[in-house]
Amino acid sequence: MADWNYTSNGQAYGPVDTAQLQTLLRTGTLPIETPVWREGMSDWAPANSLTDFRAATSRTNRLLQGSRDAQEDVQQNKVYAIIAYISILFVVGLVIAPQSRFARYHANQGLLLCLLGFLVTALVSTLGFMPFVGKYAGKVGYALGLGCTILMVLGVVNAARGECKELPLIGKFNLLK
Task: Decide if 120 contacts 145 (C-beta within 8 A).
Answer: yes
pLDDT tens sequence across 132-170: 888 888 888 899 999 999 999 999 999 998 888 889 999
Selection from 70, 114, 73, 68 nearest residue 91 by Cα? 114
pLDDT tens sequence across 26-80: 777 788 889 999 999 999 999 988 888 877 766 555 555 555 567 788 889 999 9
- Full-prediction pTM beyond 0.75? no
Show the domains of the chain with their CATH numbers: 3-53 (3.30.1490.40), 70-160 (no CATH)
What are the angstrom distances between the C-alpha of 43 and each of 35, 72, 120, 131, 169? 9, 36, 50, 65, 36
